[in-house]
Structure 1
């Protein structure tokens, strides 16, 4: 197995998903890869560099998952599919998703990766023929809904024995109905 930056980042992502973001140390990654910790510096710029690479990787993976969820769909069906896919991604990659959250918004690469996610959502919203500002407000709202739901779920905030997927579908449907009411004003 040849160690490279991609393998280091993927290994860190897998460890974060298994044990949480706090388990990410250079020593833990090196041990998992079967190399000495100083060897990691050939591929990443220390722990801060690894965290940045994880944030980029996570944002890009999330954007790809949402892109796949939207293929062949438009409008309401695309929004519903993207919302469900977002929460599924967080369920499958809780540590990697968490790595994307404290990402420095002022880092140009991270900002560009995040912008790609926003552009995807804006493309889906084009069907509704919204003004740019209205579309951006809706993207914020949509992301807040799926992030909030995911965060509450991850932290055990849904203790009742109700079907969480049904709650999510109802939440997303309510958002979409609200979007249609906005269009009728």
Structure 2
């Protein structure tokens, strides 16, 4: 039976390879081998490796965005932040190659309208969750940047093999998120929006 190939299946295969072997392992040759086809057959669906990697970054960003959005449903303030933080770390563990593609390669595709759109939506989830606090616009922006930096910083260090001490990494992560939440609650009461 002839393989029914399309761009979605190619991107999903790229994501699977990235998660199993790392983002750098995503090549047209590797994808063709996994499908059991010749590499030139892929060019009926995709122009180049660069286009494929851009599509992978967009795909991974959409996956993360959907998971964060689902985590935030029905929750607000600290409950929403905590749930988002947990799901964010889970995504980085379950899809390490996709996460790597978002964080290490996204800047190469910053001019892609589709990438810009999904990134805006992704950051919009964090902004929406944090907007439940009564913060001045600048303070809200700082809080969004802070939350993303904390989550990314921790999972990146974790993925690089740091945090080898006996204390549980999950406990450290949750303590960090709770500390962030406490800071936002203090900021809410001192923000210019309250004056």
For this structure pair, what is the TM-score category when the shorter chain's length is used for normalisation?
Answer: over 0.9
After the TM superposition, which parts of structure 1 deviate over 4 Å for at least 4 consecutive aligned residues?
Answer: none
Alignment counterpart, residue 110 of structure 1, candidates 110, 115, 126? 115
**CA positional deviation for 1:53:** 0.3
Q: Counterpart in 1 of 2:174?
A: 169
CA–CA distance in 1 between the matches of 2:135 and 2:117? 23
CA–CA distance in 1 between the matches of 2:183 and 2:189? 10
CA–CA distance in 1 between the matches of 2:49 and 2:84? 32
Question: Any idea what SS the aligned residue of 1:127 has?
Answer: coil
CA–CA distance in 2 between the matches of 1:27 and 1:161? 42
Q: CA RMSD in A?
A: 1.0
Alignment counterpart, residue 133 of structure 1, candidates 138, 161, 171? 138
Q: Counterpart in 2 of 1:180?
A: 185
1:153 aligns with 2:158: yes
- Give TM-score scaled by structure 1 length: 0.96
Number of residue-to-residue matches in the alignment: 185
Q: Counterpart in 1 of 2:17?
A: 15
> Max radius of gyration: which structure?
2
Alignment counterpart, residue 89 of structure 1, candidates 78, 88, 91? 91
Question: Any idea what SS the aligned residue of 2:132 has?
Answer: helix
Q: What 5-or-longer segments of structure 1 have no aligned partner?
A: none
Q: Say whether the 8 Å CA contact 2:14–2:26 is kept in structure 1.
A: yes
1:24 aligns with 2:26: yes
Q: Greater CA deviation, 54-63 or 30-39?
A: 30-39
CA–CA distance in 2 between the matches of 1:134 and 1:182? 8
Q: Counterpart in 2 of 1:52?
A: 54
- Give TM-score scaled by structure 2 length: 0.91
Q: Counterpart in 1 of 2:193?
A: none
